[in-house]
Structure 1
Amino acid sequence: MTPPLGDIAHIGHAQLFTPDLDASVGFFTDYLGLTVNGRDGDTVYLRTFDDYEHHSLVLTARDTPGLGRLALRTSSEEALQRRVKAVEEAGGTGHWAEDEPGLGRLYVTTDPDGHEHALYWESEYYRAPEELKPALKNQPQAKPNRGVGVRRLDHVNFLAADVLANAEFQQDVLGARPTEQIRLDTGKIAARWLTYTDKSYDVVYTSDWTGSAGRLHHIAFATDTREDILRAADLAIDSGVFIETGPHKHAIQQTFFLYVYEPGGNRIELCNPLTRLVLAPDWPLVTWTEEERKKGQAWGLQTIASFHTHGTPPVA
C-alpha cells in the first residue's frame, strides 16, 4: 500500500559530477545566477535565491559527468524514521552519513537502478550576509543581478533500465504519487512522472535506450516566468551555452522548457511549471500512448534524437 503523501516534504538538493569544475561553477553562477555558499576541496556548494537551506546544488569534480545523490528532506524526524524503516522492510539497504554543511544526519540509500537518494530532516535555515540580504524579509536572499536568476531546483529526471520498478520504489517506499506516464504498445511503461507535493512532478523516470542503469537525463531549475525562458535562450547564444532544444512547451505536464548542456556535459532544463499544480488527492494517473507521443510536444515540435541518447555518465 502506498504510504500517505507528506513524509517527503520536498527535493532538497542534487549533486552533479563534472570533469571541469571551474567551468561548471561559472555556468551555474554567471549564466543561471546561483550563489556559491561554500567549498570543500573538489566540492562546491551553490544555492538559488529562493532556497531556504544551505545549498540547492553540489558540484563535485570527477573524471566523468553524472548525478551523485538526490537529497530529499522529510517532514519530521518521525517521517524520516518511517521512510528508513520502509526502505529496509522492502529489502533495501542504506547507511547514515553526516557529510554536508548545514544538514544533520542523512540516510543514504539507492533506488533499484542504483541512483543514490539521501533522506534527512535536520537542516539549518540560510542567513544571508549583508551584501545578499533581501529587501523583503520573507525571501531568503536578494534576487541575483546576473544571469537567468532561477528561483529553485525544480525536479530531477533519471534514466532507468526499468522505469516501473523505480517508479514503484518512489511510490511504495518514499510515498510519491504518480501523475502521468507513457505506455508503449507492448504495455511497457516507458516513463513516469511522480510528485511528493502538490507540484505536478518532482521526479521522473524515463527508459534508458542504452539499457544502462543509474544514469541522469537532466536536472531542472524553475524560473519566475515564461519570459525568463526566452531570455535564457538569448543569454545562451550570447555566452556560448549549447542549446539542445527549445524554447517550447511539453505536452506532458505542460511545462515551458529550454534544454542546455553545462560545461561538464550534464543536461540542464530551465522550466516554468509554476502555474500547474495537482491539488486533487485522488488525481487519476494520466497515460499517454505511443501514438499520442508521436505527435511531438504541445505545439508540434518533434522530440530530437539526442533527447533519447544523451545521458550522463556517457556510454559508448
Structure 2
Amino acid sequence: MAPPLGDIAHLGHVELLTPDLDRSLWFFTAILGLTENGRSGGSVHLRTSDDYEHHSLTLTAHSTSGIRRTALRTSSEEALQRRVEELENTGRAGRWVEDEPGIGPLYVTTDPDGHEVALYWRSEWYEAPDDLKPGLKNQSQAKPGHGVGVRRLDHVNFLASDVAANAAFTREVLGARATEQIVLDTGKVAAQWLTFTNKSYDVVYTEDWTGSQGRPP
C-alpha cells in the first residue's frame, strides 16, 4: 500500500563533501550568498536566506566531492514514526543519530543505490542576529547584500545505477509521486522527477552511465 501523501513535508538540507573546504566555502558564501551558521568538526553549516531552519547546506571536508546526506523533514512526529516503521518493514532499516546542530534526532537510511537519506521532525527555528534581522515578520532573515542571494534549496539530482528501483523506493516507501520521466525506446527508465508536495519536484534520479552505485563516495 502506498504511504500517505504529505508524510514528508519538504527537502530539509543537504551535506556536500569537498576536497577544498575553504574554496567551497568562499563559493557558497561570496558567490551564491549563503550565510554561515556554525561549524562542527570538519563541517560548516550554511543557510539560504528564506529558510527557517538552522541550516540548508553543510560543507564537509573530504578526500572527494559529492553528496553525503540528504535530509527530509516530515510533517509531524507521527509521520516520522510511520516512515521509520515502513522502512524497517521493507528491509531498509537505518539508525538514529543526533549529529547535526539545530535538528534531530535523525533516522538515517539509504536508497537502493546507497545514497544516504535522513528523516527528521524536530527543528530549531532560526533566530537572525541583529545584522541579519529581516524587515518583514514573515521572513527568517534579511537577504545578504552580496552574491546571488539564494533563497532556498530546491531539489537534489542523484545519479543512479537503477533509476526505476530508486524512484520506486522514493514513491512507495517515502511517499513521493512522479511528475515526469524519461523512458528509452528499450523501455528502460533513464530519469524520473519526484515530489513530496505541490512542487514540480524535490528529488531527481538520472541514470549513471558508469554503472556506479551511490557515488560518491
Q: Given the two structures, how large is their TM-score scaled by the length of structure 1?
A: 0.68
Spell out structure 1 runs of 4+ moving beyond 2 A.
Answer: none
Specify the alignment match of 2:183 in structure 1. 183
Specify the alignment match of 2:47 in structure 1. 47
Once residues 131 and 24 of structure 2 are traced to their aligned partners in structure 1, the CA distance between those partners, rounded to angstroms, is: 24
Identity %: 73
Once residues 174 and 147 of structure 1 are traced to their aligned partners in structure 2, the CA distance between those partners, rounded to angstroms, is: 35
Once residues 26 and 191 of structure 1 are traced to their aligned partners in structure 2, the CA distance between those partners, rounded to angstroms, is: 32
Once residues 149 and 142 of structure 1 are traced to their aligned partners in structure 2, the CA distance between those partners, rounded to angstroms, is: 10
Superposed, which structure 2 residues align to 1:249-264 within 5 Å? none
Matched, 1:33 2:20: no
Specify the alignment match of 2:4 in structure 1. 4
Once residues 104 and 88 of structure 1 are traced to their aligned partners in structure 2, the CA distance between those partners, rounded to angstroms, is: 19
Q: Given the two structures, how large is their TM-score scaled by the length of structure 2?
A: 0.99
Specify the alignment match of 1:90 in structure 2. 90
Match for 2:174: what amino acid? L
Which protein has the larger Cα radius of gyration, Structure 1 or Structure 2?
A: 1
CA-CA distance at 1:40 after TM superposition: 1.3
For residue 135 of structure 1, give the secondary structure of its aligned residue in structure 2.
Answer: coil
CA-CA distance at 1:137 after TM superposition: 1.2
Note the alpha carbon deviations across 1:10-34, whole angstroms, 9 max, x for none: 0000000000000000000000000
Match for 2:204: what amino acid? V
Once residues 70 and 90 of structure 2 are traced to their aligned partners in structure 1, the CA distance between those partners, rounded to angstroms, is: 20
CA-CA distance at 1:4 after TM superposition: 2.1
Note the alpha carbon deviations across 1:214-258, whole angstroms, 9 max, x for none: 13xxxxxxxxxxxxxxxxxxxxxxxxxxxxxxxxxxxxxxxxxxx
Once residues 171 and 17 of structure 2 are traced to their aligned partners in structure 1, the CA distance between those partners, rounded to angstroms, is: 27
RMSD over aligned CA atoms reads: 0.8
Once residues 160 and 134 of structure 2 are traced to their aligned partners in structure 1, the CA distance between those partners, rounded to angstroms, is: 40
> What residue ranges of structure 1 are gaps of 5+ in the alignment?
216-311
Specify the alignment match of 1:299 in structure 2. none
Matched, 1:135 2:128: no
Note the alpha carbon deviations across 1:65-121, whole angstroms, 9 max, x for none: 011100000000000000001101111120000011001200000000000000000
Specify the alignment match of 2:118 in structure 1. 118
For residue 153 of structure 2, give the secondary structure of its aligned residue in structure 1.
Answer: strand
Once residues 205 and 9 of structure 2 are traced to their aligned partners in structure 1, the CA distance between those partners, rounded to angstroms, is: 20
Superposed, which structure 2 residues align to 1:212-291 within 5 Å? 212-215=212-215
For residue 153 of structure 1, give the secondary structure of its aligned residue in structure 2.
Answer: coil
Specify the alignment match of 2:106 in structure 1. 106
Matched, 1:174 2:206: no
Once residues 154 and 107 of structure 2 are traced to their aligned partners in structure 1, the CA distance between those partners, rounded to angstroms, is: 22
Once residues 3 and 178 of structure 2 are traced to their aligned partners in structure 1, the CA distance between those partners, rounded to angstroms, is: 13
Once residues 211 and 196 of structure 2 are traced to their aligned partners in structure 1, the CA distance between those partners, rounded to angstroms, is: 27
CA-CA distance at 1:151 after TM superposition: 0.7
Once residues 39 and 130 of structure 2 are traced to their aligned partners in structure 1, the CA distance between those partners, rounded to angstroms, is: 20
Once residues 186 and 104 of structure 2 are traced to their aligned partners in structure 1, the CA distance between those partners, rounded to angstroms, is: 45
Aligned length, in residue pairs:
217
Once residues 104 and 193 of structure 1 are traced to their aligned partners in structure 2, the CA distance between those partners, rounded to angstroms, is: 27
CA-CA distance at 1:41 after TM superposition: 2.4
Once residues 143 and 78 of structure 1 are traced to their aligned partners in structure 2, the CA distance between those partners, rounded to angstroms, is: 34
Relative contact order: is structure 1 or structure 2 higher (C-alpha 8 Å, sep ≥ 6)?
Answer: 2
Specify the alignment match of 1:259 in structure 2. none
For residue 173 of structure 2, give the secondary structure of its aligned residue in structure 1.
Answer: helix
Specify the alignment match of 2:77 in structure 1. 77
